Amino acid sequence: MGAVRRVYVAGVGMTKVDKHTETSLRDLAAEAAFKALDEVGNEKPEAVVVGNMLSSLIEQENLAALIADHIGLRGVCGLKVEGACGSGGVAVLAGYSMIASGLYDRVLVIGVEKLLERPTPDTLRGLAYAADADYELIYGVSFAGLNALIMRYYMSKYDVRREELALWSVIMHQNGAKNPYAQLRNEITLETVLSSPVVADPIRLYDACPLSDGAAAVYITSEDWKKVSDTPILVAGVGNAVDSPDLSSRVSLDEFYASRISAEKALRTAKLDIKDIDVAEIHDAYTITAAVSLESIGFAEKGKAAKLWSEGRFRPGDKPTINPSGGLKSRGHPVGATGVYQVVEVAMQLRGDFPGVSVPSEIGLTQNIGGVGSNVTTIVLRR
């Protein structure tokens, strides 16, 4: 069944995705939070939900208490939610539940991550905690290595050339160049991708999203409290599904089962069809992730995603436009914050005030992925 109370996005905020060496995790979270609070006239929220994956790397847990206290909200309800790189999306789902339940009317969801504070090898090892420590990491495989396995299998099965996949990065950098919040704002060529260093064959550096610091916040409310905003956006549907982190036990490597299930659930609760979506922010951690996600969600047939974007589909002006923000590739991927960035970006598209590539739209979708498709949250927003 669907939720018994409606939930709205009433305020949003985000920091530029960047290397924020001089800003602490709590200050980064506060910057995004204060922007969202400012949009709702600083109406005090009753709960703070934090999405984060890897604050353990900087020896800090208990983030909900830490951040709520730092922004002057001592005494509110607080929890941290984690679902690997999908932590932000599932934090929005938790906040949504807390309002739909009637427990609260105003919840501030904050996604925050600092990946660039520790040396890169430590961070890369931390990101691999999304995989299966006992069955995968023990063999020394990296997170990029796992995605490379999928990319090779996919290219072989569907006869897709790496040039076709690489084009995704070029398109994303075109979009991201116009987004003032994006981390990588330079336009690139196909040659940039194809000649970049190999990360885990066949994945090259420009097939992969960057390591990022960033924070994003959404202030969500019940029907009674959407009045705190002039432009409330309905959270029409949410869905989440998990799959085995261990790739060797998957039924399929060229479809993300959890992506499909979570998208179906979100669309069903929103009483909408995939064809209704005007704009979407999806989880293109690698070029191969863009292709498999687009197909698993239902925006493309299996093996056809790269063909479609090569023909010009998914670009600004098309329905759906995918990742006008520049996606994980160009906007960046502060992992536990990414799912919240997506909701901020799509809400702003529906409001008509996204400061980058603007897509006039009524209905939007976000999909945030944890692990290699092992924890996936889909959210449908409606103007």
CA–centroid distance for 175 within its chain = 16
96 binds its own copies (CB under 8 A): yes
Cis ω for the linkage preceding 202 (within 30 of 0): yes
Site string for its own copies, 270-299 (x = CB under 8 A): ------------------------------
Among residues 56 and 189, whose Cβ is nearest to its own copies? 56
129 binds its own copies (CB under 8 A): yes
Tokens 């999806």, located at residue = 282
Q: Total binding residues for its own copies by CB under 8 A? A: 77
113 binds its own copies (CB under 8 A): no
User: What residues have CB less than 8 Å from 93, skipping those under 6 apart?
Assistant: 238, 240, 377, 379
E strand or H helix at 191: helix 190-194
94 binds its own copies (CB under 8 A): yes
Among 120, 133, 161, 189, binds its own copies (CB under 8 A): 133
Among 28, 33, 100, 270, binds its own copies (CB under 8 A): 100
77 in catalytic set: no
Tokens 């909701």, located at residue = 343
Cis ω for the linkage preceding 320 (within 30 of 0): yes
60 binds its own copies (CB under 8 A): yes
Among residues 7 and 357, whose Cβ is nearest to its own copies? 7
Residue 162, φ and ψ in degrees, nearest 5: -65, -25
Among 10, 36, 37, 68, binds its own copies (CB under 8 A): 68
Query: What part of residues 135-154 is at the interface with its own copies (CB under 8 A)?
Result: 137
Measured CA distances, 285 to 203, 334, 340, 371 (Å):
11, 11, 15, 10
Among 39, 82, 207, 281, binds its own copies (CB under 8 A): 82
CA–CA dist 109, 261 (Å, integer)? 24
124 binds its own copies (CB under 8 A): no
Among 61, 191, 301, 362, binds its own copies (CB under 8 A): 61
Query: What part of residues 244-263 is at the interface with its own copies (CB under 8 A)?
Result: 244-246, 249, 257-258, 261
4 binds its own copies (CB under 8 A): yes
Is residue 329 within 8 Å of residue 284, measured between CB atoms? yes
Query: What part of residues 357-376 is at the interface with its own copies (CB under 8 A)?
Result: 370-371, 374-375
Longest distance between any two alpha carbons in the chain, whole Å: 57
Among 16, 19, 118, 125, binds its own copies (CB under 8 A): 125
Q: Which of 262, 292, 228 is nearest to 367 (CA)?
A: 262
Q: Which of 20, 85, 209, 283 is catalytic?
A: 85
Query: What part of residues 210-249 is at the interface with its own copies (CB under 8 A)?
Result: 238-246, 249
HEC-encoded secondary structure of 287-321: HHHHHHHHHHHCCCCCCCHHHHHHCCCCCCCCCCE
